[in-house]
Amino acid sequence: MSPLAETQKVEHLAQIRGAAVRINGHVRRTPLLRTDIATGLMVKPESLQRTGSFKARGAFNAVLSLLERDPGVAGVVTHSSGNHGQALACAAKSAGLPATIVVPEGVTPAKVAGIRSFGATVVSDGVNFDNRETIAEEIARTQRLWLVHPYDDWDVVHGAGTVGLEIIEDAPTPGAIVVPVGGGGQISGIALAVSVLSPGTAVIGVEPQGAADAADSLHSGALQSLDADPITLAEGVKSKSIGDRNFDVIVAGGLVRDIVTVSESELTDAVRVAWMRLKLAIEPTAALALAAYLTGKVPAGTAEHPTVLVLSGGNFDPAAVAALLTG
Amino acid sequence: MSPLAETQKVEHLAQIRGAAVRINGHVRRTPLLRTDIATGLMVKPESLQRTGSFKARGAFNAVLSLLERDPGVAGVVTHSSGNHGQALACAAKSAGLPATIVVPEGVTPAKVAGIRSFGATVVSDGVNFDNRETIAEEIARTQRLWLVHPYDDWDVVHGAGTVGLEIIEDAPTPGAIVVPVGGGGQISGIALAVSVLSPGTAVIGVEPQGAADAADSLHSGALQSLDADPITLAEGVKSKSIGDRNFDVIVAGGLVRDIVTVSESELTDAVRVAWMRLKLAIEPTAALALAAYLTGKVPAGTAEHPTVLVLSGGNFDPAAVAALLTG
């Protein structure tokens, strides 16, 4: 276990810059917004990204990189109950490639419909959260499809890292950048970009209290996993552990300053603040960073060195949102 | 009744450019966003503006212009049940001036609380929608305050016109710009800016079917008023007629191509699309332009000449929105 060398960081930054060029025109540059809450606060609403989440960046980078390496590839496959599945389906369709998405039974019909709307094949018979990765690997092997892992994949990480590039272009020296952590794809990409471009910026992760495996990994220095499926409103960060590549950046690499946790009621309050005061219809997972900010668990920021919250997506269930608004 | 001369339009544009300089740093430049709905569509979310609506632009321009003309002014007053009241209270506080806002009895407590949060005096005893303007004028006279009319005021119109400047800077030749119409302040400002900068762009207004006084005025060529308070979800456009200055731009001036109307159910559908697909938590009034777009009442736009929808504000009642999301 050793921190990333400067040469490794520079090489990753070059890959992230390459990703930015590759996905330009396929994904959007999201704005970096000031808010009425505080002058030291800025938000990066990836909810406004194509397909409604930052996942489009990694998915397009993975599909387009794959076609550069192997123009004859038969298609792509992944396991995802949500945003990554939709993003990969969109990227594959855009590139003219077939996509198969392995989805656990019982997932919200709206999400499955979102994946199907891009023409992808959905496999869900007998699929659950424990066997979905194995099933996707089996499909990749037997059908000769390329498996695009939701977070433990360098193309995906480098695609997500373009969020960091854009933040630093718009606000050169943020005091902190705060990012939700599930499998760790987004925060490792952002941390890699920022470690070279603005080494003084603290990259901080946020997890729900009930799914704090990444915080435990960072604080113990060894990869920790959840024993059971976590129960949290933040359904985008339910993975039981971060990936190996993500561990190498976040924990071993020393590029993430801290990972803090928020309670479900802190998260619920933050969702309301996002809708009512930020005027952004984000999904609960995307409110993790705002919850940490509102409860003082991350630095407040200043006008010169703002705290930037990454609002990772906007694909919410309307009934759940309605209940929160009136609750 | 005569179209505005080119010299008049150029003079108004100079005033709008002056407003942009004056309010810079006090209000935000809102982004012009592409969406997942169509390549020919762009949206200008003034819901992300300071105080949650485009009204901050006119209010800051009015207050700062007033202080340039009369540094010894005692304060400002207006009549408004919503966004203009909040915006004027914010601008006055920022300039260190007292503000009095005349608010009809029975208006949503959240809106009154928003106005009070900026330290403004709220007058509401015995105030209704019919007498509020007279009461505000009386307060202005007896207390020597400056009345900042919500729309029939050139400083307010020129402030709102900065929305048009920004759109043309970001998308030089839109096919159409679609704007909600209440008193006509926002559309007349935008039309004045666009008439010189991109004369080929069609500026199109949208009203609820039940509050179609501006459409009637445009189609008849004479100022029309509603007989009674309209019943519509779009509470930001309930004024019974457009102002004199607004008439001179919209109707006599010939700068608005058309004003179309949408039904309440078309508006309801558009609010849901805004939240679920645009991921923007806008107020129902702000969905008027989207409703016109989704029902084919305005041009669809192209990538080169997009249709730009102005989403005017985001100050919604959470219970009402929750009902729409589940309805």
**Distance from C-alpha of B122 to C-alpha of B22, rounded to nearest angstrom:** 27
Q: Which tokens belong to A51?
A: 């397909």
Q: Report residue B327's pLDDT band, with 50, 70 and 90 as the boundaries.
A: confident
> Residue A309: inside a domain, yes or no?
yes
Looking at residue B220, what is its pLDDT? 98
Say how many residues make up chain B: 327
In chain A, which residues have their Cβ closer than 8 Å to the Cβ of B34? 28
Please indicate, yes or no, whether residues B24 and B160 belong to a single structural domain of this protein: yes
Q: Are A259 and A181 in contact (CB under 8 A)?
A: yes
A241 Cβ partners below 8 Å, 6+ apart? A183, A213, A214, A217, A223, A224, A225, A226
Please indicate, yes or no, whether residues B66 and B102 belong to a single structural domain of this protein: yes
CA closest to A316 among chain B residues:
B276
Looking at residue B296, what is its pLDDT? 98
- The strand order across the sheet containing A176-180 reads A33-34, A41-45, A307-311, A176-180, A202-208, A258-262
| Chain A with chain B: Cβ pairs closer than 8 A | 72
Helix or strand (DSSP H, E) at A269: helix A264-273
Is A188 annotated as catalytic? no
Please indicate, yes or no, whether residues B282 and B190 belong to a single structural domain of this protein: yes
Tally the domains of chain A.
Answer: 2
Flag if B52 and A279 touch (Cβ within 8 Å): yes
Tens digit of each residue's pLDDT (9 = 90 or more) over A102-144: 998 877 777 888 899 999 999 999 998 889 999 999 999 999 9
CA distances from A51 to A22, A28, A91, A168, B41 (A): 18, 10, 10, 23, 16
Flag if B52 and A282 touch (Cβ within 8 Å): no
Please determine, for residue A2, whether its predicted confidence score (pLDDT) is greater than 80: no
3-state DSSP: chain B helix, strand, coil percent, rounded to 5?
Answer: 50, 15, 35
> Residue B1: inside a domain, yes or no?
no
A143: how many CB neighbours lie within 10 A of its CB?
Answer: 12
Task: State the smallest CA–CA distance between residue B57 and chain A in angstroms.
Answer: 15
Q: Which residues of B touch A (CB under 8 A)?
A: 28, 31, 33-34, 36, 45, 47-48, 50-52, 272, 274-276, 278-282, 314, 318-319, 321-323, 325-326
**CB burial of residue A240 (10 Å; 0-12, 13-18, 19+):** middle
Please indicate, yes or no, whether residues A40 and A75 belong to a single structural domain of this protein: no
Tens digit of each residue's pLDDT (9 = 90 or more) over A50-62: 999 999 999 999 9
In chain B, which residues have their Cβ closer than 8 Å to the Cβ of A319? 325-326
- Of B115, B147, B179, at which residue does a domain stop? B147
Please indicate, yes or no, whether residues B190 and B167 belong to a single structural domain of this protein: yes
Flag if B36 and A50 touch (Cβ within 8 Å): yes
Instruction: Quote the Cα angle for B271-B275-B276, to 5°.
Output: 115
Identify any residues that bridge with A178 across adjacent strands, giving them in sequence order. A204, A309
Phi-psi region for residue A96, left (φ > 0), alpha (ψ -120 to 50) or beta? left
Flag if A279 and B50 touch (Cβ within 8 Å): no
Tens digit of each residue's pLDDT (9 = 90 or more) over B128-148: 888 999 999 999 999 999 999
Please indicate, yes or no, whether residues A15 and A60 belong to a single structural domain of this protein: no
Looking at residue A234, what is its pLDDT? 92
Task: State the smallest CA–CA distance between residue B152 and chain A in angstroms.
Answer: 27
Instruction: Give residue B307's domain range.
Output: 6-53+153-326
Q: Which tokens belong to A86?
A: 């939709």
In chain A, which residues have their Cβ closer than 8 Å to the Cβ of B45? 279
Please indicate, yes or no, whether residues B168 and B202 belong to a single structural domain of this protein: yes
**Distance from C-alpha of A47 to C-alpha of B298, rounded to nearest angstrom:** 27
Nearest to B326 among A31, A36, A318 (CB): A318
Please determine, for residue A1, whether its predicted confidence score (pLDDT) is greater than 70: no
In percent, the amount of chain B with pLDDT more than 90 equals 87
Q: Which residues of A touch B (CB under 8 A)?
A: 28, 31, 33-34, 36, 45, 47-48, 50-52, 272, 274-276, 278-282, 314, 318-319, 321-323, 325-326
Please determine, for residue A325, whether its predicted confidence score (pLDDT) is greater than 90: no
* CATH number for the domain that contains residue A260: 3.40.50.1100
In chain A, which residues have their Cβ closer than 8 Å to the Cβ of B275? 281, 318, 321
Tens digit of each residue's pLDDT (9 = 90 or more) over A225-281: 999 889 999 988 888 999 999 999 999 999 999 999 999 999 999 999 999 999 999
CA closest to A283 among chain B residues:
B279
Q: Are B99 and B169 in contact (CB under 8 A)?
A: no
Helix spans in chain B (H): 6-23, 55-69, 83-95, 109-116, 132-143, 154-170, 185-197, 213-220, 244-250, 264-273, 288-294, 318-326
In chain A, which residues have their Cβ closer than 8 Å to the Cβ of B28? 33-34
Q: Which residue of B279, B280, B326 is the best one to mutate when testing the A interface, meaning the one whose CB has the most A CBs within 10 A?
A: B279
A14: how many CB neighbours lie within 10 A of its CB?
Answer: 12
Task: State the smallest CA–CA distance between residue B254 and chain A in angstroms.
Answer: 34
Tens digit of each residue's pLDDT (9 = 90 or more) over A151-167: 999 999 999 999 999 99
- Of B118, B147, B176, at which residue does a domain stop? B147
Residues of B noted as catalytic: 55, 81
> Residue A286: inside a domain, yes or no?
yes
In chain A, which residues have their Cβ closer than 8 Å to the Cβ of B274? 281
Angle between helices B109-116 and B83-95 (to 10 degrees): 10
CA closest to B28 among chain A residues:
A34
Looking at residue B320, what is its pLDDT? 87
In percent, the amount of chain A with pLDDT more than 90 equals 88
Looking at residue A109, what is its pLDDT? 79
**Distance from C-alpha of B225 to C-alpha of A320, rounded to nearest angstrom:** 42
Nearest to A51 among B36, B50, B278 (CB): B36
**Distance from C-alpha of B48 to C-alpha of B163, rounded to nearest angstrom:** 13
Claim: this prediction has a pTM higher than 0.90: yes
Flag if A47 and B279 touch (Cβ within 8 Å): yes
Please determine, for residue B1, whether its predicted confidence score (pLDDT) is greater than 70: no
Please determine, for residue A327, whether its predicted confidence score (pLDDT) is greater than 80: no
Over range B66-92, report the average pLDDT. Answer: 95
CA closest to A320 among chain B residues:
B326
Please indicate, yes or no, whether residues B106 and B193 belong to a single structural domain of this protein: no
- Of B103, B132, B147, at which residue does a domain stop? B147
Question: Which of A53, A65, A80, A81 is labelled catalytic?
Answer: A81
> Residue A225: inside a domain, yes or no?
yes
Nearest to B326 among A48, A282, A319 (CB): A319
Please indicate, yes or no, whether residues A123 and A265 belong to a single structural domain of this protein: no
> Residue A1: inside a domain, yes or no?
no
In chain B, which residues have their Cβ closer than 8 Å to the Cβ of A274? 281
In chain A, which residues have their Cβ closer than 8 Å to the Cβ of B47? 279
Please indicate, yes or no, whether residues B261 and B286 belong to a single structural domain of this protein: yes
Q: Report residue B91's pLDDT band, with 50, 70 and 90 as the boundaries.
A: very high
Over range A15-30, report the average pLDDT. Answer: 98
Nearest to B325 among A45, A278, A321 (CB): A321
> Residue A291: inside a domain, yes or no?
yes
CA atoms within 13 A on the CB side of A121: 14
Flag if B323 and A322 touch (Cβ within 8 Å): yes
In chain B, which residues have their Cβ closer than 8 Å to the Cβ of A272? 318
CA closest to B316 among chain A residues:
A276
Please indicate, yes or no, whether residues A44 and A142 belong to a single structural domain of this protein: no
> Residue A11: inside a domain, yes or no?
yes
> Residue B203: inside a domain, yes or no?
yes
Which three-class secondary structure state does DSSP give residue B9? Answer: helix
Please indicate, yes or no, whether residues A295 and A162 belong to a single structural domain of this protein: yes
Nearest to B31 among A31, A272, A274 (CB): A31
Q: What are phi and psi of B123, to 5 degrees?
A: -110, 120
Nearest to A279 among B272, B281, B322 (CB): B281
Q: Report residue A326's pLDDT band, with 50, 70 and 90 as the boundaries.
A: confident
Assembly ipTM = 0.96
Say how many residues make up chain A: 327
Task: State the smallest CA–CA distance between residue A38 and chain B in angstroms.
Answer: 11
Q: Report residue A181's pLDDT band, with 50, 70 and 90 as the boundaries.
A: very high
Looking at residue B259, what is its pLDDT? 98
Tens digit of each residue's pLDDT (9 = 90 or more) over B4-63: 999 999 999 999 999 999 999 999 999 999 999 999 999 999 999 999 999 999 999 999
Tens digit of each residue's pLDDT (9 = 90 or more) over B159-192: 999 999 999 999 999 999 999 999 999 999 999 9
Nearest to B280 among A31, A51, A281 (CB): A281
